[in-house]
Amino acid sequence: MFNVNANGAEIPAIGFGTFRMPGSDVLRMVPAALKLGYRHVDTAQIYGNEAEVGEAIANSDVARGDVFLTTKVWVDKYRHDAFVRSVDESLKKLKTDYVDLLLLHWPQSDVPLAERIGALNEVRDAGKVRHIGVSNFNTALMAEAVKLSKAPIVTNQVEYHPYLDQSAVLDAARKAGMSITAYYAMADGKVVDDPAIKAIAAAHGKSAAQVVLRWLVQQQGVVALSKTVSAERAKANFDIFDFELSNDEMQALHALARPNGRIVNPGHLAPKWD
């Protein structure tokens, strides 16, 4: 396991994601993931499971200070007062007095970006948040966020898998000292049956999922989120630090990108993508 350094934040390269994970599964899987060695847990206000994430971490054998915890403010809480209140509510649910990383979940909003970035900085200055970032931003919005923020922006959490070329966003992030946090790494399960990925996996004695996660974390400044409700798969997804992909294998995976590769694109929330 290694960390990604982004504008002063040390982010564990593989995170355990809880998107669409019911509370009962969170209570079972987060302690199991922490026991396996995961030290990065990702949730969000809209997931409806912050309370279970907080309970699972509090009841685990791992100290809160050893867990990198991320949550995200939902779009209906972007006005300043609602924003600050929502962060306090998240902290209460998460049973902690700070989160390691707080993100704006989606960019589309009537609330000016300056107000949202200002609120992010305010909760950071108050010690409620160690680092701040964004999610689902395009390169123009990333640049605007960086310009507006007093504190460094440490990540942009975006969809990223072999079928989606994110080189423009990656280049912009690297230039700004930011990381990219990849979600939907398995492309809704498509990578598992891909012949090209399976061939690379067979050469390393690994699974297709392990190869894709390795491909992500082997790229400079990329953090990967892995989500599963199976302890066995969680173990396999974490077991990606004992092999390395060759340059040819990395390029073969990049070559799978296609124009219609994007999966997550809600019109009322998403920006104009790069």
pLDDT value of position 250: 98
Asked, for residue 273, whether it belongs to a domain, the answer is: no
Q: What is the average pLDDT score of the chain?
A: 97
- Tell me which of 38, 47, 160, 183 is the catalytic residue: 47
- Relative to beta strand 153-159, strand 222-226 is unpaired
Residue 67 has pLDDT above 90, yes or no: yes
In SS3 terms, the chain reads as CCEEEECCEEEECEEEECCCCCHHHHHHHHHHHHHHCCCEEECCHHHCCHHHHHHHHHCCCCCHHHCEEEEEECHHHCCHHHHHHHHHHHHHHCCCCCEEEEEECCCCCCCCHHHHHHHHHHHHHCCCEEEEEEECCCHHHHHHHHHHCCCCEEEEEEECCCCCCCHHHHHHHHHCCCEEEEECCCCCCHHHHCHHHHHHHHHHCCCHHHHHHHHHHCCCCEEEEECCCCHHHHHHHHCCCCCCCCHHHHHHHHCCCCCCCCCCCCCCCCCCCC
pLDDT value of position 66: 98
Asked, for residue 264, whether it belongs to a domain, the answer is: no
Mark the binding-site residues, compressed into ranges. Answer: 105
Asked, for residue 269, whether it belongs to a domain, the answer is: no
Task: Say how far apart CA 15 and CA 4 lie, in whole Å.
Answer: 11
Task: Say how far apart CA 125 and CA 132 lie, in whole Å.
Answer: 11
Average pLDDT (91-95) is 98
Mark the binding-site residues for substrate, compressed into ranges. Answer: 105
Residue 244 has pLDDT above 80, yes or no: yes
CATH number at residue 102: 3.20.20.100
Beta bridge partners of 133: 103
Please report which confidence band the pLDDT of residue 64 belongs to, taking 50, 70 and 90 as the band edges: very high
Residue 111 has pLDDT above 80, yes or no: yes
pLDDT value of position 1: 76
Average pLDDT (203-207) is 98
What confidence tens digit (pLDDT) does each residue in 137-166 have? Answer: 999 999 999 999 999 999 999 999 999 999
CB neighbourhood size of 251 (10 A): 10
Q: What is the number of structural domains in the chain?
A: 1
Task: Say how far apart CA 59 and CA 70 lie, in whole Å.
Answer: 18
Average pLDDT (204-219) is 98
Average pLDDT (237-243) is 97
Asked, for residue 271, whether it belongs to a domain, the answer is: no
Asked, for residue 21, whether it belongs to a domain, the answer is: yes
| Domain range for 165 | 3-254
**78 catalytically annotated:** no
- Relative to beta strand 9-12, strand 3-6 is antiparallel
Global confidence as pTM:
0.98
Average pLDDT (15-25) is 97
pLDDT value of position 264: 97
- Relative to beta strand 68-73, strand 179-183 is unpaired
Average pLDDT (32-61) is 97
